[in-house]
């Protein structure tokens, strides 16, 4: 046995625990799902191992776009979630990053604290906030409604009729796309804030002074210098929010009600209710492939950029 | 006297919490002048520069640029540009975009920008580098880009914050001369911050020496070097022998200072001093010379304590009284075989009163 072969064996030995784990609990199940997606549903559930592409055609059928439509809605919700997370998360990250170092760590800790509680529990909490007799609607139909009535009675010249009318009925929050988006943004916000924070914290603010010295006002300095240089953090955060939002199951299941179904719920239903494993597997695989392609494009572009810079030196 | 200054500071003070970084500084910087703020780190020179640039706002007094009080005017509305200490080039932009930035912000036409960037890169000797990124440039090249990026805007005043600090010695020396030549060519007022006294002496028309937030002395390089008005300036710039003493005798034509209560030195009466006042005499080592015999009555007798060979010069430590040792610097004219004074040799230190500065603080 020569030297390099020996070292290869030693390396294999060292990585064998993780290799074992990945193969047994990740690669094999994944291949099983892939194999399943080409199978047929048995009459009493289970899988009949006959090769077919029907499951994929059924999902991606343009003439009967039931599932495609749910898929589009899912992508749409995931995009909105990502954008809203960015709009909230980036300013938040920025604010934290410009605090004195001691306070920064405390704020990051505060950001993480809610996430030590179980995700299900926190999602149930949102039901209590958003439902018809929930916190928000109580404020809306009781407090604000009563206030509007009283003030309207004592000061009749104030144009409050409209407010009285709209506050008479609760806001339709629970069971809507809005509720799902709120739940998803809440759930994945730290995943946006942390990479953005890391990028902004590393940012050299003397560059802002340089921009201001060169006649850029605050807004121009942000657009031309700060944002482009913290963009990698934004992209990383967006991927971290977009991908789990695309595959979300618990949030739409609990907050979304009957009309707001996401693709994660469809997959669940195929496996657990319809017992159509092959179809569920096919949808899973299409979803996974799309996520993989998106991630690859991102890594390709950043790696290529870095390589290009290095080569030019 | 109502001189018109390019930049004028009137009682400018900057307080950070407990620390007073700049303490009531008043100075006028003339049009087209190469002006240096010189001092050790923490003396307030960079803060002074940042106050002129608008990156810090004064807590007292005001900065005037071309006679206009600046108050709290933000940097992007001041007719000055800055070369930052670590250049602060935009890493995501290439050289062209970096240099063009100021003109783009001022909405200059595209063709005009292209033309001026090209001219500017030629001026700083970086033609053809337009599409390089800052991280592909050497330190000296980055420095030139930073210079071009500031100068392209034709500022009234260019502020430079230790721009050569990151370069190695040889390059720094070359850039000093180049900067000075460039300044004379473009005719823009330069305000230059440095802690390197040699750099300040080489390049400046005038120097303000700062210490603890105050300007201690302001003048031409020769003035600062030859006639320091206080001990800090004499010590910070170049090498100086300090002889502590007190005024023993005064008459109309001379002052006699008794060094260490034992060594009397007579100087022409110049400054206001009183009998018994504590004073310090400052004299540069290179103004002294050694001789085997006394050349004049005032020469000091001494013994060579130590000989330090430093190439261009030879430094002798000479004991002139039991408590007092002074440094004498002789040019190394003789080479390896030249005549030298020996360790322990009894010699005379020759000096002339015009080279002695009497410091009263």
Question: Strands, E, within A2-134: which ranges?
Answer: 40-41, 47-48
Dist CA B287 CA B225 (whole Å): 12
pLDDT at B310: 86
Asked if A312's CB is within 8 angstroms of B90's CB, the reply is no
Distance from CA of A232 to the nearest CA of B (A): 12
Q: Which of B81, B52, B83 is nearest to B69 (CA)?
A: B52
| pTM, rounded to two decimals | 0.81
A208 and B CB contact within 8 Å: no
How do residues B286-343 score in pLDDT, each as one tens digit?
Answer: 999 888 888 887 788 899 999 998 888 889 999 988 888 999 998 888 766 666 788 8
Identify from A199, A207, A215 which residue to disrupt to test chain B contact, counting B C-beta atoms within 10 A and taking the largest count. A215
Asked if B132's CB is within 8 angstroms of A312's CB, the reply is yes
How do residues B46-99 score in pLDDT, each as one tens digit?
Answer: 999 999 999 999 999 999 999 999 999 999 999 999 999 989 999 999 999 999
Dist CA B288 CA B350 (whole Å): 6
∠ CA A173-A177-A180, rounded to 5°: 85
Identify from B49, B56, B88 which residue to disrupt to test chain A contact, counting A C-beta atoms within 10 A and taking the largest count. B88
Asked if A217's CB is within 8 angstroms of B82's CB, the reply is no
Three-state SS at B21: strand
A216 and B CB contact within 8 Å: yes
Give the number of residues written for chain A. Answer: 313
Asked if A229's CB is within 8 angstroms of B91's CB, the reply is yes
> Could you tell me the two tokens for B256?
């006699």
CB B301 within 8 A of CB B213: no
**Who's near B28: CB < 8 A, 6+ residues apart?**
B3, B5, B7, B8, B9
Q: Using the 8-state DSSP alphabet, how is residue A45 labeled?
A: B
> Could you tell me the two tokens for A216?
């850029």
Dist CA B189 CA B29 (whole Å): 8
- Over range A292-306, report the average pLDDT: 75
pLDDT at B339: 66
CA nearest to A313 within chain B: B136
Share of chain A above pLDDT 90, in %: 61
Q: Which residues of B touch A309 (CB under 8 A)?
A: 133, 135-136
Chain CA centroid to CA B151, Å? 23
CA nearest to B138 within chain A: A313
Ordered alpha helix ranges (H), A262-276: 263-272
Asked if B133's CB is within 8 angstroms of A213's CB, the reply is no
Question: Strands, E, within B120-253: which ranges?
Answer: 157-161, 189-194, 206-211, 214-219, 241-250
Beta bridge partners of residue B302, listed in sequence order: B347
CA nearest to A207 within chain B: B88
Three-state SS at A157: coil
Q: Which residues of A touch B75 (CB under 8 A)?
A: 209, 212-213
């Amino acid at each position: 046995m020569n030297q390099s072969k020996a070292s290869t064996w030693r390396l294999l030995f060292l990585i064998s625990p993780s290799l074992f784990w990945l193969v047994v609990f990740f690669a094999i199940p994944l291949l099983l799902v892939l194999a399943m997606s080409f199978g047929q549903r048995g009459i009493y559930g289970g899988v009949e191992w006959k090769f077919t592409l029907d499951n994929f055609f059924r999902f991606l059928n343009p003439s009967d776009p039931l599932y495609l439509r749910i898929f589009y809605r899912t992508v749409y919700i995931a995009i909105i979630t990502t954008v809203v997370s960015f709009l909230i998360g980036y300013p938040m990250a920025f604010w934290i990053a410009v605090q004195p170092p001691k306070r920064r760590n405390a704020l990051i800790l505060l950001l993480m604290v809610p996430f030590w509680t179980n995700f299900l529990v926190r999602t149930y909490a949102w039901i209590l906030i958003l439902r018809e007799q929930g916190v928000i609607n109580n404020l809306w139909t009781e407090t604000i409604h009563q206030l509007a009535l009283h003030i309207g009675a004592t000061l009749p010249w104030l144009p409050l009729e409209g407010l009285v009318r709209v506050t008479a009925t609760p806001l339709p929050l629970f069971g809507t796309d809005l509720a799902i988006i709120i739940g998803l943004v809440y759930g994945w916000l730290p995943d946006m804030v942390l990479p953005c924070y890391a990028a902004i914290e590393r940012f050299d603010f003397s560059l802002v002074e340089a921009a201001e010295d060169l006649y850029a006002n605050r807004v121009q300095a942000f657009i031309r210098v700060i944002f482009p240089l913290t963009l990698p953090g934004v992209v990383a955060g967006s991927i971290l929010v977009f991908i789990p939002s695309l595959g979300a199951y618990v949030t739409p299941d609990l907050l979304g009600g009957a009309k707001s179904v996401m693709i994660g719920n469809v997959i669940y239903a195929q496996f657990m209710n319809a017992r159509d494993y092959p179809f569920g597997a096919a949808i899973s695989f299409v979803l996974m492939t799309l996520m993989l392609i998106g991630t690859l494009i991102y890594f390709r572009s950043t790696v290529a950029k870095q390589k290009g810079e290095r080569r030019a030196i | 006297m109502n001189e018109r200054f390019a930049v004028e500071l009137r009682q400018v003070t900057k307080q950070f919490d407990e620390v007073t970084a700049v303490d009531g500084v008043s100075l006028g910087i003339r049009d087209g002048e190469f002006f240096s703020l010189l001092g050790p780190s923490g003396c307030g020179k960079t803060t002074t520069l940042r106050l002129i640039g608008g990156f810090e706002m004064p807590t007292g007094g005001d900065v005037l640029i071309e006679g206009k009080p600046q108050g709290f005017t933000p940097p992007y509305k001041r007719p000055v540009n800055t070369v930052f200490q670590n250049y602060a080039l935009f890493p995501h932009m290439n050289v062209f975009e970096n240099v063009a930035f100021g003109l783009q912000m001022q909405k200059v036409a595209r063709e005009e920008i292209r033309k001026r960037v090209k001219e500017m890169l030629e001026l700083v000797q970086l033609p053809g580098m337009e599409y390089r990124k800052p991280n592909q440039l050497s330190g000296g090249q980055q420095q030139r880009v930073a210079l071009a990026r500031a100068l392209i805007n034709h500022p009234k005043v260019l502020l430079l914050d230790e721009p050569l600090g990151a370069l190695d010695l040889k390059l720094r020396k070359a850039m000093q001369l180049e900067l000075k030549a460039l300044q004379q060519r473009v005719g823009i007022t330069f305000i230059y911050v440095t802690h390197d006294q040699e750099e300040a002496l080489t390049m400046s028309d005038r120097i303000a020496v700062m210490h603890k937030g105050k300007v201690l002395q302001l003048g031409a390089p020769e003035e600062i070097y030859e006639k320091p008005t206080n001990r800090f300036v004499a010590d910070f710039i170049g090498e100086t022998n300090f002889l502590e003493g007190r005024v023993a005798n005064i008459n109309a034509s001379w002052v006699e200072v008794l060094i260490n209560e034992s060594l009397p030195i007579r100087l022409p009466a110049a400054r206001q001093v009183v009998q018994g006042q504590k004073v310090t005499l400052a004299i540069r080592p290179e103004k002294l010379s050694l001789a085997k015999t006394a050349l004049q009555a005032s020469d000091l007798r001494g013994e060579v304590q130590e000989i330090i060979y430093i190439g261009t010069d030879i430094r002798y430590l000479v004991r002139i009284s039991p408590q007092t040792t002074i440094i004498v610097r002789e040019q190394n004219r003789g080479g390896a075989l030249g005549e030298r004074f020996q360790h322990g040799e009894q010699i005379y230190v020759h000096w002339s009163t015009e080279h002695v500065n009497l410091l009263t603080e």
